[in-house]
Structure 1
């Protein structure tokens, strides 16, 4: 495994600050990982080589014949050995302590292109179909800083604001590959067909929306936003700035209930949700509910292992210091079935070591606790989440404390990741 390149100093950042530390966390990072990590695979049982994988975006696993998935009105239903699960999508907003920020006027920002030459960067600009004004600006050598390992381009606010959506999408997709460009690498993101869905009931004024909407861009089924601090001084009031931060930080989750009916196979349900541990003590509760009512429900929260149960729908506290390692998706996946949290997995290197040495790839029917890895053709793992049942997964989309632990449809999680970069969905299971 190779570590990410360090982020060089920059003069302008797209950042949110926590109140307790004042530490810049570049752009709201609710829906994408806090950084992309290289997993140089040496164990064929864990991840296959890039040549053996198709260069396509991940697709959801095939649905087993005994599983039934569908919708009944606004309710998503999945049925199988785990019982009948009914879920509805809800939107969660971050807590106050996660959305504090400082307001400053930024008239430009810096873009970083590691490994680029002047010729390859010029090729990118040609593909971006720049306007004559943008072409002249980007080719002006006074805006370039050429270093041994990268090219830095200082870009004015006027140029950034004026980019056409297609141009912004292409340029930001190129920037997103590199952790140095955290504004594009970890943008605010929301799965929606239109900005109206993202900003619904937000309280944002027409003026605020007129500032933000031209800067939105799309990847796959998600809308993204990368220029928070660049435009923050254009938002007129503190109230509107806070509402904007809270809205951009919205996260989607599924509220899931187990439906109990006379035909429910309680033994099968208990066996499924006890897969990773001794027979759970929720069996008496399920049988009691069924005796009291022929049509009862119980929150899936009560079926989860202890650590996951304590995390679901909650937020992590702000870090104590700038150097404190956060609880990201990998910490979440590896702690899912533990009785006590193992804080070693805040260290990404240890998380990846655990994936390599303690887990193996599986292609059989998914089981409770399996881990999905989102892997690029270069063996970069960009996210992990935990299989629950059917097409439901347990996930934390980012390390920022404004990113909650939630249940999502696997297809919704996949929609949060750039379709421009081919990904493979790899499922691994702890070795016995």
Structure 2
């Protein structure tokens, strides 16, 4: 396989549907934690004067069971990456801190390379680098509101927000020539059982035999729905079902020509896994579903579909700004296993597992 990284950003038409966040930074904590915050901030590395400013009743906003703190811009920008990691890891526990709970994640590269080719001014990219911190093995960035203070116009503010939806994905082409084993290639991409052979064989054999053409885009051999969704963002029309597609909807619909919308329900999706899939261990084969399970509860908090060579098809989040992409499994682990409390378990459809076993026995 020949792989190349490309970067996706949400289309401008989608960005226009979202109100830009306030440029005033805000940290939200449970009101019950108010008296423990001074010790927490001190341990994180904040100065006594900044802690006093943050907790000054004149600057502290109480709302129901939460309190909102408004860190001054200069002091927030002056925080060290280590301090930012400690504080933002705590803030991420509460969904009210949306940009800490769901930060921009830069995986396997630098801030500069991630935004190379974007429309951001160098000054904005430098500010992102200054405000970045670590989350596991990834670079994280949460201070989108701070960046908006440096925009020179409304259009640039939207360009900044758009750039913060940037996602890295793989474009993959299968190398095929007269030395390729057509039978093995067709067998692998038809689940090892020949279930999709009629869809794949004519195209694979013709490329192998054709002079001057020596590769095939992976997208062309994916099932119909995955082929349709790959490298795209959910349309607003998908919200008509009351909830947006997530990773489990994506993984369990991988085999379907048309999506089964009942898989938006976590309970029914779980039921399908229990009834129709069987656990498998590596090495994984094409179309195995990989579930990321909590070590304590056993609950699945993410899933993706194995394609080949630890490359997976995934949608990382239920939100509308999360596209369908192809990633390396190790990079997906950096997103979802950074806490060290989870594991990956493969599952294979029972009908495919049974047919593959029968085919192997015949051979």
TM-score computed with the length of structure 1 as normaliser: 0.71
Q: Provide the C-alpha distance between the structure 2 equivalents of 1:344 and 1:208, rounded to a whole number of angstroms.
A: 43
- Tell me what 1:40 maps to: none
Counterparts of 2:21 and 2:80 in 1: how far apart (Å)? 25
Within 1, Cα distance between the matches of 2:23 and 2:158?
18
Aligned pair 1:326/2:244, yes or no? yes
Residue number among 320, 332, 335 corresponding to 1:401 in the alignment: 320
For 2:337 and 2:141, locate their aligned partners in 1 and report how far apart those are by CA, in whole Å. 13
Counterpart-to-counterpart distance in 1, 2:29 and 2:57: 15
2:309 to 390, 394, 417: 390
Offset at 1:416?
A: 2.9
Q: Does 1:314 align with 2:236?
A: no
Contact 1:97 1:318 in 2 (8 A): no
Partner Cα distance (1:361, 1:141) in 2:
55
Asked if 2 retains the 8 angstrom alpha-carbon contact of 1:289 and 1:296, the reply is yes
Relative contact order (alpha carbons < 8 A, sep ≥ 6): 1 or 2 greater? 1
1:429 lines up with 2:348 in the alignment: yes
**Aligned residue for 1:372?**
290
Q: How does 1:149-168 map to 2 (within 5 A)?
A: 151-158=66-73, 159-168=75-84
Q: Give ranges in structure 1 of 5+ residues lacking alignment.
A: 1-84
Pick the aligned partner of 2:254 from 336, 352, 355: 336
Tell me whether 1:180 sits opposite 2:99 in the alignment: no
CA deviation digits over 1:120-161, x for unaligned, max 9? 5455334312222233235546637496xx553423343544
Give the conservation status (yes or no) of the 8 Å contact 2:314–2:324: yes
Structure 1 partner of 2:133? 217
Alignment length, in residue pairs? 345
Deviation digits for residues 376-418 of structure 1 (CA, Å, limit 9, x no counterpart): 4444543211101111100112223332211111112222346
- Using the TM superposition, name which of 137-146 and 290-299 deviates more: 137-146
Partner of 2:114: 198
**Which of 268, 293, 299 is the equivalent residue of 1:350?**
268
**1:26-425 alignment to 2 at 5 Å?**
85-100=1-16, 101-103=18-20, 105-113=22-30, 117-118=33-34, 121-140=37-56, 143=60, 145=62, 151-158=66-73, 159-209=75-125, 211-275=127-191, 277-293=195-211, 296-319=214-237, 324-379=242-297, 381-417=300-336, 419-425=338-344
RMSD of aligned C-alpha atoms? 2.9
Please report how far the alpha carbon of residue 347 of structure 1 lies from its aligned counterpart in structure 2 after TM superposition. 2.8
In the alignment, the residues of structure 1 paired with residue 346 and residue 56 of structure 2 have an alpha-carbon distance, to the nearest angstrom, of 47
Task: Specify which structure has the higher proportion of helix.
Answer: 2
Q: For residues 141 and 173 of structure 1, what CA distance do their matches in structure 2 show? A: 24
Q: C-alpha distance in 2, partners of 1:146/1:281? A: 58
d(CA) in 2 for partners of 1:315, 1:103: 19
**TM-superposed deviation, 1:431:** 3.2
Secondary structure in 1 matching 2:233:
coil
Distance in 2 (alpha carbons) for counterparts of 1:312 and 1:305: 11
Question: 1:109 touches 1:157 (CA, 8 Å); kept in 2?
Answer: no
The secondary structure found in structure 2 opposite 1:280 is helix
